[in-house]
Amino acid sequence: MRTLRLPDGTAVPALGQGTWYMGERADARAAEVAALRLGIDLGLTLIDTAEMYADGGAEAVVGDAIAGRRDQVFLVSKVYPHNASRRGTAAACERSLRRLNTDVIDLYLLHWRGSVPLAGTVAALQALRAAGKIRHWGVSNLDLADMHELRAVPGGAHCAVNQVLYNPEHRGIEYDLLPWQAQQAMPLMAYSPVGQGGRLLQSPALRTVAARHAASPAQVALAWGLRHPGVISIPKASTEAHLRENAAAIDLHLTAQDLAEIDAAFPPPTRKRALAML
């Protein structure tokens, strides 16, 4: 598995596993656990979850999946904005640790910006890091102006990652946010890298490129995001076939022709766009 580095030099996988919508059905739990375990076997050892997903249910699924394998996994979770006060963040982190059945979270993110001032959230995250509850912290769904504000508060320079929506349909961040993060040596974590609902994967451009490489449109979408050396992608997969498909995407290298055809179908931004969110 190809890796990239957080600002402090920690190596993390460029391709991982998302868990949005996991933990919502008891009858699917065994299959979801098995899928995550297979993903680990395939090298997808970064697992992203959140207290929001199934009200903690996804974290519980992850906890089952990593039992006995915690040292093989780079674990990411997120705190709700309404829990992101000094006291609320600490309590939310303890709940997540219990559900995940671990004593430390590798990367803990503010899920999106809410009413709690960033200075208070950063202070809480820094305290968790000092206490050994988390190893790194970051943010999610913050645009460039928010990132500048974050860097200006005490401790804000310790932000390791910003997780945002990024795929060929949603590439507004290429105008300013993605280049800025590259300058800061701060990885961007792309959620929904193959889109939602299957519309992106029906794109004639992606299907043409996929046929040229004997690949799938999903693999093309993943390779497109991973073409940038500072991007981590976290697609969700719940079947063995999809997991193997995702893992193989790391070896797909798109040509200049491929990228030009995708650009023609999904033009890169020429002006500032509002940050897209799901």
Which amino acid does the sequence have at 114? G
Count CB-CB contacts under 10 A for residue 244: 13
Give me the catalytic one of 53, 108, 166, 191: 53
Q: Is 80 a catalytic residue?
A: no
Residue given tokens 């394998």 in the structure block = 69
Sign, CA dihedral 143-145-148-150, equals negative
Strand arrangement of the beta sheet that strand 74-79 belongs to = 17-18, 46-48, 74-79, 105-110, 134-140, 162-165, 188-191, 231-233
Structure tokens at 106: 């590798």
Q: Which of 70, 133, 65 is nearest to 105 (CA)?
A: 133
Q: Report the alpha-carbon distance of residue 225 to residue 191 in Å, rounded.
A: 10
User: Structure tokens of 76?
Assistant: 């990411």
DSSP assignment letter at 15: B
Tokens of 258: 């491929």
Q: How many CA atoms lie within 13 A of 171 on its CB side?
A: 19
End-to-end CA separation in angstroms for the chain: 28
Q: What's the CA gap between 78 and 109, in Å, rounded? A: 4
Positions annotated as catalytic residues are: 53
